[in-house]
């Protein structure tokens, strides 16, 4: 009997002991899952004296399930051509000049590149790209302008009330440098020349070109109408990304069709005034200009061995004596990095 009582007493104590063990194990598991040391548990006597967990560690614990943000990738700068000779840059008559590599935007030649000067008709480069980005080349345009604004102007030959496509107006703007086309385009796109100039100035601001301010769409002299060789080269670099603009800049001749205000239909050719297209191998644009105040101006584009270079001249006495030496200097003395 005594043995049985002892046996029952022992068996009666086993269950509570097992329960205590299970609870202890569970606590240890919880502690391990929380990654807490004994003195970090609430109520521990050692908690107050223990070294606090660094805030960075606590933040990492809290954020452990938070998706990691994708880091911002900074574009790798495009390597610029490197000059490989000691050849001096050419001396030209232009008061402001620059040559720019298309791919990198690097300046390869400059002379007063940021000097503000009258741009004359290379203004129409900005007119054209703004029109292309805000209009549809298939639009039919009714010509509107103030004839008094066209004194001593080059024109494409459209009159108030004539109708033609925006595309033909753009060819009339870029090839024979028609000021009548510039005014018709401005009126069609923005409702007025002033509103159109606001678009032109806004475009230059977006491109980060701060040497320019335009008060007309054609480039006739005005004290508040100015740009720089650098700005004109860089806006041309931007414009030449547009395939329609590239066609305009390259064309030597184009046939326009005009529905005259009297009801007759007339087709005729307009011709490009940019002689660089004919005299320099690889030339593929862009625009020339002239006024008595601005003298000769140009933005030219030449592509050789897959590399395009823009040359911009302002205040030149002779574009065809100034442009080739700069282009020769660049292509003969700079080496482009392999892509």
Residue carrying structure tokens 């009548």? 180
Structure tokens given for 126: 């900005």
User: Is residue 121 flagged as an active site residue?
Assistant: yes
Q: 111, 121, 212, 323: which one is catalytic?
A: 121
Distance between terminal CA atoms of the chain?
100
Cis preceding-peptide flag for 286 (omega within 30 of 0): yes
User: Is residue 177 flagged as an active site residue?
Assistant: yes
Residue of 293, 295, 300 lying closest to 273 (CA atoms): 300
Secondary element (H or E) of residue 265: strand 265-271
Structure tokens given for 120: 């004359």
Residue of 257, 278, 277 lying closest to 266 (CA atoms): 257
Torsion angle in degrees (nearest 10) through CA of 97, 102, 105, 110: -20
Q: 7, 65, 124, 252: which one is catalytic?
A: 124
Please state at what angle helix 193-206 crosses helix 123-134, rounded to 10 degrees: 90
Structure tokens given for 315: 């205040």
Q: 55, 83, 177, 332: which one is catalytic?
A: 177
Whole-number Å distance between alpha carbons of 116 and 208 = 15
Q: Where are the beta strands (DSSP E) in the chain?
A: 82-83, 96-101, 107-111, 140-142, 163-165, 253-259, 265-271, 283-291, 295-304, 307-316, 334-335
CB-CB neighbours of 112 under 10 Å: 17
Supply the residues annotated as catalytic. Answer: 121, 124, 177
């Amino acid at each position: 009997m005594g043995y049985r009582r002892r046996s029952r007493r022992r068996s009666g104590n086993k269950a509570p002991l097992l329960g205590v063990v299970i609870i202890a194990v569970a606590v240890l598991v919880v502690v391990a899952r929380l990654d807490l040391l004994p003195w970090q548990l609430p109520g521990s006597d050692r908690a107050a004296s223990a070294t606090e967990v660094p805030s960075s560690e606590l933040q990492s614990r809290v954020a452990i399930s938070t998706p990691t943000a994708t880091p911002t990738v900074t574009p790798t700068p495009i390597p610029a051509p490197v000059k490989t000779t000691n050849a001096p840059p050419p001396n030209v008559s232009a008061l402001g000049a620059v040559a720019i590599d298309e791919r990198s935007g690097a300046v390869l030649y400059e002379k007063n590149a940021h000097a503000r000067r009258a741009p004359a008709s290379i203004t129409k480069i900005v007119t054209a790209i703004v029109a292309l980005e805000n209009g549809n080349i298939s639009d039919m345009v009714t010509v509107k302008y103030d004839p008094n604004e066209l004194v001593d102007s080059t024109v494409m030959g459209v009159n108030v009330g004539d109708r033609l496509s925006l595309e033909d107006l753009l060819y009339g703007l870029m090839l024979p440098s028609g000021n009548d086309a510039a005014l018709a385009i401005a009126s069609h796109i923005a409702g007025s020349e002033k509103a159109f100039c606001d678009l032109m100035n806004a475009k230059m601001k977006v491109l980060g070109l701060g040497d320019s301010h335009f008060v007309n769409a054609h480039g006739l002299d005005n004290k508040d109408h100015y740009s720089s060789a650098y700005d004109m080269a860089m806006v041309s670099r931007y414009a030449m990304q547009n395939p329609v603009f590239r066609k305009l800049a390259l064309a030597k001749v184009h046939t326009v069709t005009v529905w005259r205000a009297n009801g007759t239909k007339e087709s005729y050719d307009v011709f490009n005034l940019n002689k660089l297209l004919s005299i320099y191998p690889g030339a593929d644009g862009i625009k020339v200009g002239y006024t008595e105040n601005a003298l000769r101006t140009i933005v030219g584009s030449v592509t050789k061995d897959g590399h395009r270079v823009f040359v911009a001249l302002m205040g030149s006495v002779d574009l065809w004596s100034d442009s080739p030496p700069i282009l020769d200097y660049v292509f003969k003395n700079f080496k482009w990095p392999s892509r």
